[in-house]
Amino acid sequence: MNSVATTINSPRFQRYLLWFGLAVLAAGAAVLVFTLVGGSDEKTQVNPDKGTLPAKSVPLRNGDGALITTYTQLDAQIRSAVTTFIGSAVAREHVGQSWSVVAPTLKAGYTRAQWKKADDLPVVPYPGVDTKHVRYHLDHASTKEILVEVGLAGKPGVSTRPVTFQLGLVPGKGGRWLVDYWMPRGAQPVPSGP
């Protein structure tokens, strides 16, 4: 027991203990500084399931290079996808026409034949919609998503009240934009699927 006490009280052991403590303190400080200041750049973050994360979204510009701030400034393909979706899937008329303008996330679990039947689509219907008098307001447009507020009313003689919906589009393959969200304004989304 005396030799342990002598070793602990020796100046050499106490110097080693001091240097070891300082090394642990320096390593801890370096980790703290790296975590708080250095971190990692979004370009270098890796998602183990999908590889490198995509870059941040930027404001959307149309084919002419103009910054998009209104619905009418959206490219014709985007506006056509919206009108096709409303005139078919939402109106529940010729529903099969909407298949090509709907994102895979919205039609997940459906075959083209099931979608065409329109029995149980994950799209809130508005039968009798007056497609000639739809009102559009652009909420947000970036390279990752477009959000549009859509005001619908029924055709003359149809007893449906006007409703405002929110429609979301995402970029698809080949530079096309596809509808991936459709919900009455203020409604809570529900899981989709057959």
Question: Would you state the pLDDT for residue 65?
Answer: 85
With cut-offs at 50, 70 and 90, classify the pLDDT of residue 54: low
Lowest-confidence region among 41-50, 64-73, 95-104: 41-50
Question: Would you state the pLDDT for residue 34?
Answer: 66
Question: Would you state the pLDDT for residue 32?
Answer: 67
With cut-offs at 50, 70 and 90, classify the pLDDT of residue 45: very low
- How far, in Å, CA of 192 to CA of 109, rounded? 9
Over 90: is that where the pLDDT of 1 sits?
no
- How far, in Å, CA of 147 to CA of 169, rounded? 7
Q: For residue 84, give the nearest of 105, 102, 71 by alpha carbon.
A: 102
Decide if 99 contacts 116 (C-beta within 8 A): yes
What Cα–Cα distance (Å) separates residue 188 from each residue in 123, 152, 180, 184, 191? 13, 19, 15, 9, 10
DSSP summary character for residue 27: H
Mean pLDDT of the chain: 83
pTM of the model: 0.67
Phi, psi of 146 (to 5 degrees): -130, 130
Over range 153-175, report the average pLDDT.
92
Across the beta sheet with 146-152, what order do the strands follow? Answer: 135-141, 146-152, 163-171, 177-184
Lowest-confidence region among 19-28, 124-133, 142-151: 19-28
Q: Is 122 exposed, middle or buried (0-12, 13-18, 19+ CB in 10 A)?
A: buried
Decide if 57 contacts 171 (C-beta within 8 A): no
Over range 89-108, report the average pLDDT.
95
For the domain spanning 71-184, the CATH number is 3.10.450
